[in-house]
Amino acid sequence: MTPLVRSVRSADTLTRDALAVLQPGFTGTTAPDWLLRRLGEGLVSVGLFGRNVADPAQLAALTGRLRAEREELIVAIDEEGGDVTRLEVRGGSSFPGNHALGAVDDTELTRAVARELGRRLADCGINLNWAPSADVNSNPANPVIGVRSFGADPQLVARHTAAYVEGLQSAGVAACTKHFPGHGDTAVDSHHDLPRIAAGLPTLQARELVPFRAAVAAGTRAVMSAHILLPALDAEHPATLSPAALHGLLRAPEAEGGLGFDGLIVTDGMEMQAISATYGIERGSVLALAAGADAICVGGGLADEGIVLRLRDALVRAVREGELPEQRLADAAARVRALAGRARSTGEGAAPAPGIGLTAARRALRITAAGPYRPLRESVCVAAFTPLANIAVGDETPWGVAAELTRLLPGTETATCTAEAAAAAGTAALIDGLLTAAAGRRLVAVVRDVHRHPWMADALHTLLAACPDTAVVEMGVPQAPPQGALHLATHGAARVCAQAAAEALTGRRPSPDE
């Protein structure tokens, strides 16, 4: 009877460890029964997305219900502020993103913004934020990082990454610095395919790794791996699945050229095509744990009980078949539980800083005038040149300046221009239609990363040739030279960035009751 008891106990421990390393998501604004059951069986983490958030009161009630089932629980969210927001997914963020903070280059401001964002998260019961992005945006063609990065200079990115980590964690929310070892030098979105970075180790050490070293020195409690292939580190496996990247670089002592990180290693979403289309989610998760990851993030796209059970069973099977060392799984589970026990769930340590986000957005605004410019006083026509949103941002979150301009100039209207419309009608016809819609009113053209979209650049050039007094608002990375009678670079598309731009265009700020 004794061997049977040992076997049952071992199986139960193994299953609980397999559940402990998962960070799954779910649908809806209340906790489903299956999730509550799995928390009782060993699940230690839950990931939240925009679909789970209605308002702060609902979110606090949701996290409270989860903690009623398991007190020591990691509740994580992807709240970068700026373009990537889950707290304010349907209205736009009250905080500018990293690129705006980098443009200001005031680390005290970055620290204050991160502290206030962390305070709001903590008040809602969230204790792990999958942020900040520490990627150096060295490739202007990058389709997924862009304004999510503090900038293209490694030292600037490093000092603001450290400030962000310190500010967020001072509010009681653990930071998860991403996307290790750096997603900035890619022209491919890992949501869709496997990016490859050809840089050698000296370049990685001097560029990509500089902000991550700063984050580790600042005490970041977690680091998220990237699904990117770096042959200089590992010619076969992307970083998430690479022992050389996770164990050999991130964990290795500084004396051996590593970062000496001893906190939680979290994977990026395993359902992303860079992993799922190449390895499959189950095998990818096993390889990630074996490589040194501690927590498997899944739930952005796959968010039901089935995926939790599939991954749990795959990890248990891998241990029993000798593919994943049992001790490696146990160590990973222990790290997850340690963070769950340490992380606070209230923001009592941070004093409120209302308006800090708008203050930062105003400071980040860069204005270039071709000559004297008359502020807008009457309703205008906003031409929104709209690219396809990347998956990290999502298409639920509004962007542009029309809503904020309408608050200041009632009657303002918007005409949306897309690549498909330009291809179908031709650029000249598209702009002719836009001018007809404007009906003699002044125009404001809103673009996003115009340097990455030839159709957008062509349409904007045609519009400015026909209507030179058009103001241009660039809400992405301002890589292209300023154009228009007035050019505003907001360094991001957060709601507060739009508000700062609208104020500059009209020359006035709304009163508090407007």
The verdict on whether 191 is a catalytic residue reads yes
505 vs 270, 295, 361, 479, 514, CA distance in Å? Answer: 43, 46, 14, 21, 17
The alpha carbon dihedral of 459, 149, 173, 286 has a sign of positive
Q: Which phi and psi angles does 265 have, rounded to 5°?
A: -100, 120
Given the residues 191, 227, 237, 487, select the one marked as catalytic.
191
Q: List, in order, residues 6 or more apart from 325 with CB less than 8 Å away.
A: 290, 319
Q: Where on the phi/psi map is residue 310: left (φ > 0), alpha (ψ -120 to 50), or beta? A: alpha
Q: Count the neighbouring beta carbons within 10 Å of the beta carbon of residue 58.
A: 14
Active site residue 268: yes
d(CA 257, CA 263): 18
CB-CB contact of 452 with 140 (8 Å): yes
CA angle 404, 410, 416 (to 5 degrees): 60
Beta strands in 53-205 (DSSP E): 74-77, 128-129, 174-180
CA distance 243 to 29: 37
Rounded to whole angstroms, the Cα distance separating 269 from 225 reads: 10
Which residues, at least 6 apart from 131, have a Cβ–Cβ distance to it below 8 Å?
78, 79, 80, 81, 164, 168, 175, 176, 177, 178
For residues 305 and 266, the answer to whether their CB atoms sit within 8 Å is: no
Catalytic residue among 268, 294, 487, 491: 268
Residues 6+ apart with CB under 8 A from 424: none
β-sheet with 45-48: strand ranges across: 45-48, 74-77, 128-129, 174-180, 222-225, 264-266
Residue 214 and residue 261 in contact, taking contact as beta carbons nearer than 8 Å: no
Mapped onto helix, strand or coil, the DSSP state of residue 84 is strand
Structure tokens at 54: 């209605």
CA distances from 261 to 133, 177, 232, 330, 342 (A): 17, 12, 20, 18, 17
Interatomic CA distance for residues 503 and 514, integer angstroms = 13
Structure tokens at 73: 């629980």
Taking Cα atoms as reference points, which of 445, 457, 448, 444 lies closest to residue 492?
A: 448
Catalytic positions: 191, 268
